[in-house]
């Protein structure tokens, strides 16, 4: 949930929404502020109007007063200069009334009152006229004058009253208006302030977001810069160059290292197809041109291989590959990589040569095997057969010396036979994955014992063994291993001591055996073959497994020095390890470790 929100918060869309929303709010609040200010200025106008009305009414009143006092002055002094304000005020009164009418326009109440006032003023002026005429005729004492005079005073009072009424009404109006607008107007400064604060907040938020985005952009830019640099380095180290074919305008861009691969200074010539193809080996030119044409047609470049010749004359093998990329603006580009694989090809050639040599050697070895197995055995077999003929048929014709010589020839040829047999066995002990099969080791051990049954009974040996679990092995080799180890124990028995051989099984962790510490298998089957024979000095524990190595004179013991080498080879074929412990005149122990697979 928060993750979702966070990603929303970071998105460009969120920014747009916030921006739109805030724009709307600022507009709304701006509208409100405009309305408040408009209202304020309207009420100001109203106050102004009321004030104007007041002044006009005062002016009207004072004009009337001036006319009245002028008339009184004239009646007392008969000086006509006193009448001057009267003429002036007449026109002034008209003007004032006009203005009052204009000011009260739209307010029927006041209009009516002004109309009333106008009648009263007209009445006043008519009374002035009348009293003035009477005064000019010197009829001041007449009852007509006195009643007119009184009427004038009465009329004046009603004018004053009317003016008072209008002013009161106007201030009443102003009062209610003020009360109405003051409520909303008092909010106006707050609204403007809030709009300001809100706008600032939005501005801040947007600023923060933009600066954050800028930072991310900068980081990404730096990453891109680093990546570019490492690409340049990897181009140099792995001997490849990049190029871009801008398909829309058919132009090329070559990376610096592509020039270096051609043996040229970076960007030392125009990156055009023609300039590049000019380096191609003449024999590969047709092939490359065809590939390039195909590339132009299909806008794709599968793996191609060709040679170029640098200006220095050295020939290089190139491999190229390209793929179309459409950028965000919709421009199609073919991004290509060209690698110098000269070293690879040379190494491959070297390996191939060595493989051929190995094959030759193997063939020689195989034919040597054949020679050993067949051609060497044949004459030996005949020698032995002829000896047996001599012994059978010519025994009585031989002197004692002759019989001795025959005996010596016989034992030598027997020894030669066992040497050849063992050597053959050794060379045939090879590893082949197909030969591995799940085997019952106990049966293999029994078979090995069966092959040795004569010598076992002759020496009256006792052999005991644990039950050994099944393993995936090369069966005949494991049988050979048991056979060789048992016959080794029987061969090197102590004189006049019946051999006792015990074969034990256990499981061992690789870490417990120093030589297996770094092996890829963690657990090992451990088969221990212990005897009570002549043993050997521990310092020869390694040596006994090497080919033809013997610890004893061949006249004492009949070994060929190959049997244990075969054991070692068999165990190694099974990814195992064999070791020996010797105790002179007590016996020896052979330990075979075979990995527990699966």
**286 lies in the binding site for another protein (CB under 8 A):** no
Buried b (16+ CB within 10 A) or exposed e, 101-114: eebbeeeeebeebb
CB of 417 to another protein, least distance (A): 7
CB of 426 to another protein, least distance (A): 14
Distances (CA, A) of 9 to 3, 13, 26, 205, 218: 10, 9, 21, 11, 19
Binder among 6, 16, 354, 389 for another protein (CB under 8 A): 389
Spatial distance between the Cα atoms of 144 and 154, rounded to a whole number of angstroms: 15
Cα torsion angle, 36, 41, 44, 49, sign: negative
CB of 428 to another protein, least distance (A): 8
| Footprint of another protein on 118-157 (CB under 8 A) | none
Q: Which residues pair with 245 in a beta bridge?
A: 252, 334
Q: Which stretch binds another protein (CB under 8 A): 153-161, 173-181, 375-383, 584-592?
A: 375-383
Q: Quote the strand ranges of 262-344, DSSP E.
A: 301-309, 315-326, 332-340
| Footprint of another protein on 395-454 (CB under 8 A) | 417, 428
- DSSP state at residue 541: T
**380 lies in the binding site for another protein (CB under 8 A):** yes
Give the contact letters, 489-528, x = binds to another protein (CB under 8 A), - = no: ----------------------------------------
Number of residues that bind another protein (CB under 8 A): 14
Spatial distance between the Cα atoms of 494 and 483, rounded to a whole number of angstroms: 19
Q: Which stretch binds another protein (CB under 8 A): 47-55, 271-279, 379-387, 437-445?
A: 379-387
Residue 240 vs 449, nearer CB to another protein: 449
Residue identified by tokens 């794709």 is 300
CB of 377 to another protein, least distance (A): 6
Q: What are phi and psi of 79, to 5 degrees?
A: -85, 120
Question: Which residues, other chains included, contact 565 with Cβ-Cβ below 8 Å and sequence gap of 6+?
Answer: 426, 545, 546, 547, 548, 549
Give the contact letters, 314-333, x = binds to another protein (CB under 8 A), - = no: --------------------
Binder among 52, 107, 184, 384 for another protein (CB under 8 A): 384
Sequence-separated contacts (24+) of 109-118 with Cβ below 8 Å: 109/169, 110/166, 110/169, 110/170, 113/162, 113/165, 113/166, 113/169, 114/166, 116/162, 117/60, 117/159, 117/162, 117/163, 117/166
Spatial distance between the Cα atoms of 235 and 240, rounded to a whole number of angstroms: 5
Spatial distance between the Cα atoms of 531 and 586, rounded to a whole number of angstroms: 8
Spatial distance between the Cα atoms of 458 and 454, rounded to a whole number of angstroms: 6
**392 lies in the binding site for another protein (CB under 8 A):** yes
If DSSP codes are grouped into helix, strand and coil, which group holds residue 598?
coil
Binder among 332, 381, 450, 554 for another protein (CB under 8 A): 381
Q: Which class for 447: exposed (0-12), middle (13-18), buried (19 or more C-beta within 10 A)?
A: middle
Question: How many of the other CB atoms lie within 10 Å of CB of 265?
Answer: 10
Q: Which stretch binds another protein (CB under 8 A): 121-129, 380-388, 466-474, 535-543?
A: 380-388
Note the helical H segments in 238-261. 256-261
Residue 22 vs 373, nearer CB to another protein: 373
Residue 417 vs 523, nearer CB to another protein: 417
Binder among 199, 377, 439, 575 for another protein (CB under 8 A): 377
Cα torsion angle, 502, 508, 513, 518, sign: positive
* H or E segment to which residue 567 belongs: helix 563-573
Residue identified by tokens 């003051």 is 182
Residue 246 vs 440, nearer CB to another protein: 440
Residue 25 vs 387, nearer CB to another protein: 387
CB of 385 to another protein, least distance (A): 5
Q: Which class for 90: exposed (0-12), middle (13-18), buried (19 or more C-beta within 10 A)?
A: middle
Residue 218 vs 428, nearer CB to another protein: 428
CB of 416 to another protein, least distance (A): 11
Binder among 94, 378, 437, 507 for another protein (CB under 8 A): 378
Q: Which stretch binds another protein (CB under 8 A): 53-61, 208-216, 386-394, 582-590?
A: 386-394
CB of 316 to another protein, least distance (A): 48
Q: Which stretch binds another protein (CB under 8 A): 9-17, 39-47, 372-380, 497-505?
A: 372-380
CB of 357 to another protein, least distance (A): 25
Q: Helix count (H) and strand count (E) of the chain? A: 15, 12
CB of 594 to another protein, least distance (A): 23
Q: Which residues pair with 319 in a beta bridge?
A: 305, 339
Residue 274 vs 392, nearer CB to another protein: 392
Residue 377 vs 442, nearer CB to another protein: 377
Residue 324 vs 419, nearer CB to another protein: 419
CB of 433 to another protein, least distance (A): 17
Binder among 388, 440, 511, 586 for another protein (CB under 8 A): 388
Contacts with another protein by CB under 8 A lie at 373-374, 377-378, 380-382, 384-385, 388-389, 392, 417, 428
């Amino acid at each position: 949930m928060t993750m979702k929100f966070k990603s929303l918060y970071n998105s460009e869309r969120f920014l747009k929404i916030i921006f739109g929303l805030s724009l709307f709010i600022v507009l709304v609040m701006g509208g409100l502020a405009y309305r408040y200010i408009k209202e304020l200025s309207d009420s100001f106008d109203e106050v102004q109007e009321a004030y104007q009305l007041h002044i006009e009414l005062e002016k009207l009143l004072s004009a009337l007063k001036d006319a009245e006092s002028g008339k009184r002055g004239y009646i007392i002094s008969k000086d006509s200069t006193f009448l001057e304000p009267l003429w002036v005020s007449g026109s002034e009164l008209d003007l004032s009334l006009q203005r009052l009418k204009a000011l009260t326009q739209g307010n029927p109440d006041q209009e009516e009152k002004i109309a009333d006032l106008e009648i009263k003023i007209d009445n006043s002026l008519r009374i002035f006229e009348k009293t003035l005429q009477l005064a000019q005729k010197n009829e001041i004492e007449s009852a007509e004058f006195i009643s007119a005079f009184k009427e004038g005073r009465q009329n004046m009072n009603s004018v004053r009253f009317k003016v008072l009424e209008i002013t009161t009404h106007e201030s009443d109006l102003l009062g209610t208006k003020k009360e109405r607008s003051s409520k909303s107007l008092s909010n106006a400064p707050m609204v403007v302030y809030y709009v300001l604060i809100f706008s600032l907040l939005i501005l801040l938020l947007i600023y923060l977001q933009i600066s954050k985005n800028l930072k991310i952009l900068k980081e990404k830019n730096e990453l891109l810069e680093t990546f570019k640099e490492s690409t340049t380095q990897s181009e140099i180290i792995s001997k490849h160059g990049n190029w871009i074919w801008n398909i829309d305008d058919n132009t090329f861009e070559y990376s610096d290292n592509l020039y270096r691969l051609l043996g040229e200074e970076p960007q030392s010539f125009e990156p055009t197809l023609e300039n590049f193809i000019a380096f191609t080996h003449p024999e590969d030119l047709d092939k490359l041109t065809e590939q390039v044409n195909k590339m132009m047609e299909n806008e794709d470049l599968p793996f191609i291989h060709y040679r170029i010749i640098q200006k220095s004359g050295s020939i290089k093998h190139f491999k190229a590959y390209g793929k179309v990329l459409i950028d965000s603006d919709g421009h199609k580009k073919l991004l290509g990589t060209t690698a110098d694989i000269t070293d690879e090809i040379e190494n491959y050639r070297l390996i191939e040569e060595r493989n051929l040599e190995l094959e030759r050697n193997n063939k020689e070895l195989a034919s040597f095997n054949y020679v050993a197995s067949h051609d060497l055995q044949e004459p030996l077999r005949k020698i032995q057969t002829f000896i047996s003929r001599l012994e059978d048929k010519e025994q009585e014709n031989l002197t004692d010396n002759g019989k001795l010589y025959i005996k010596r020839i016989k034992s030598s040829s027997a020894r030669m036979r066992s040497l050849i047999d063992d050597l053959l066995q050794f060379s045939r002990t090879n590893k082949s994955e197909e030969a591995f099969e799940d085997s019952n080791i106990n049966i293999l051990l029994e078979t090995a014992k069966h092959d040795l049954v004569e010598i076992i009974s002759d020496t009256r040996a006792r052999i005991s063994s644990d039950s050994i679990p099944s393993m995936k092995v090369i069966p005949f080799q494991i049988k050979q291993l048991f056979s060789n180890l048992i016959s080794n124990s029987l061969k090197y028995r102590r004189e006049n001591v019946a051999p006792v051989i015990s074969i034990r099984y256990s499981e061992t962790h690789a870490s417990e055996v120093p030589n297996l510490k770094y092996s890829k298998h963690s657990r090992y089957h451990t088969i221990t073959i212990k005897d009570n024979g002549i043993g050997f000095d521990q310092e020869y524990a390694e040596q006994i497994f090497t080919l033809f190595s013997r610890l004893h004179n061949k006249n004492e013991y009949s070994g060929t020095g190959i049997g244990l080498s075969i054991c070692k080879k068999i165990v190694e074929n099974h990814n195992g390890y064999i070791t020996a412990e010797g105790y002179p005149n007590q016996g020896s122990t052979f330990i075979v470790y075979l990995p527990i697979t699966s």
